[in-house]
Amino acid sequence: MTDNQHQTPIIEAVDLRKSFGAHEVLKGLDLKLNRGEVVALIGPSGSGKSTFIRCLNHMETPTGGQIRFHQKLVGNSFRDKGDVIGFGTLRRQVGMVFQHFNLFPHKTVLQNVIEGPVTVLRQSKKEAEELAMDLLGQVGLAMKRDAYPNHLSGGQKQRVAIARALAMQPEVLLLDEVTSALDPELVGEVLAVIRGLADKGMTMAIVTHEMAFAADVSSRVLFLDQGVIAACGSPQAIIRNPENERLKGFVSRFHGQG
Amino acid sequence: MTYNWDFHGVWQNSDLFLWGLWISVVYTFGSIFFGIIIGFITCAARLSGWRVLDIAARCYQELFRCTPLLVQLLWFYYAFPLLVGGSIDNRVAAMLTLSLYVGAFYAEIFRSGIVSIDNGQREAAAAIGMSPMQSMTRIILPQALKRMLPSFINQSVIQFKNTSLVSVISVADLAYMAAVVNGQTYRPLESYTIMALLYIAMLLPLTQAADWIEKRLRVSD
């Protein structure tokens, strides 16, 4: 892992800024995400961590700074323009899973998963279904292939949403508080799936309030506070032995949980 | 007081009723057809994100939603030709007015159906790399159409009844024909009762179908 420093990052944020009106949420953030890395973003609510991760796939348009994907600048249009790649291209390779799942309610589980590969990647239905069934098997929901999302539990919905994102075979997966909307007893099954992905070397950026999970699964932790990266380091340094006072206060509130 | 119902004269004029009914149906479906196109364009303008288009579409909608259809018919037939210099065929004026009128309402039905879909759906579509067009046609519209359907049918039922107003600018629809038959037979009770029954016969199956569809849609939600 030491040669990570010399590797070129898959996705990179450079002096990233985002304002909503006069309110500046992100005040110049930098991040390099290397292949196989799992970065956890923690911080109090309103610190900008969700906005930050949503800027990485242009779900929010940054108001300053740059997003780079394999060192190429990402522009503000859907399609590529010369050397500047479009956010359509970016999103094909950077998957995202949402807090509220956002499954397509008018499609079955299987249709949800193949929608991206068939519509966006132009894969044949057969090919897409084979991969989809494999992924549904991995998240333990192969038997639910023909169910509609409304008939699934929250944890099952979120696992389908993860399979849907993976069906695009992305290089990076962005997870935005994926367990925050779940009943406590359903959190474990989703975390187990994410842990499995980390073990397989999936590159991920994870916004989470599950401190124990973040400490366990991530290779690096960023502590965001008031729109800046207030602390950054190994899970050991950030979560288990925090030095920064605000970080100490933040992390201590979660001790004893999980 | 007893009244001797006598349908003989009216029955002899049944061809006029049927022709009138056919004209009413033609204006209903014609204006629904053009209204859908107008409503679609107006809805697209409102959701385009271009301020000028949005305001123009809104002005059109409010103009036609906030004046009575009868007033619009009279204006397009009697006033509009003076404005542009020339004359306008009463049938053209009738179809134009009916279409613009229902289009304004359809636009609102389409728009509210589309914006009622949770923004998370757009985001999920965007996150797998769909273009705005793909997201609209594959994710948003299939869900929105389902929500629009009951109000769309309702508005179309009202539209059929509204066509009766074109009789005031001498378009020979069912209401106009009923008046003609009354003029020939001096039998207002029979003439106008038949007219009313024909409207009911046309619309009752439609409203029942609408209720049935709505119930079915609710079940599959």
What is the ipTM metric for this complex? 0.91
Over residues B7-17, the mean pLDDT reads 88
Distances in Å between the Cα of A251 and the Cα atoms of A206, B39, B85, B213 are: 17, 55, 79, 54
Is position A126 within any domain? no
- What does the pLDDT look like over A130-164, one tens digit per residue? 999 999 999 999 999 999 999 999 999 999 999 99
Is position A110 within any domain? no
Least confident window among A26-30, A67-71, A242-246, B180-184: A242-246
Q: Using CB atoms, pick whichever of A59, A120, A150 lies closest to residue B130.
A: A120
pLDDT reading at A1 higher than 80: no
Among chain B residues, CA nearest to A121? B129
B128, A106: Cβ pair inside 8 Å? no
* Domain coverage including residue B131: 8-219
B124, A106: Cβ pair inside 8 Å? no
Q: Using CB atoms, pick whichever of B121, B146, B221 lies closest to residue A104.
A: B121
**B-interface mutation test, from A106, A168, A180, most B Cβ less than 10 A away:** A106
B128, A57: Cβ pair inside 8 Å? no
HSE toward the beta carbon, residue B16, CA cutoff 13 A: 20
Is position A143 within any domain? no
B129, A168: Cβ pair inside 8 Å? yes
Judged by a CB distance cut-off of 8 A, whether residue A120 touches chain B is: yes
Is position A164 within any domain? no
**B134 touches B141 (CB < 8 A):** no
- Number of independent structural domains in chain B: 1
Higher pLDDT pick, B145 / A257: B145
Shortest CA gap B144–chain A (Å): 11
**Sequence letter at residue A249:** G
Q: Identify the burial level of A19 via C-beta atoms within 10 angstroms of its C-beta, where 0-12 means exposed, 13-18 middle and 19 or more buried.
A: middle
Residue B8 pLDDT class (50, 70, 90 cuts): confident
- Number of independent structural domains in chain A: 1
Instruction: Kindly report the CATH number assigned to the domain that includes residue B31.
Output: 1.10.3720.10
Residue B1 pLDDT class (50, 70, 90 cuts): low
**A209 touches A182 (CB < 8 A):** no
- What does the pLDDT look like over B88-101, one tens digit per residue? 999 999 999 999 99
* Domain coverage including residue A216: 2-102+171-252
Q: Residue A251 and residue A209: Cα distance in Å, rounded?
A: 10
Residue B220 pLDDT class (50, 70, 90 cuts): low
Q: How many residues does chain B have?
A: 221
Instruction: Kindly report the CATH number assigned to the domain that includes residue A238.
Output: 3.40.50.300
pLDDT at B219: 63
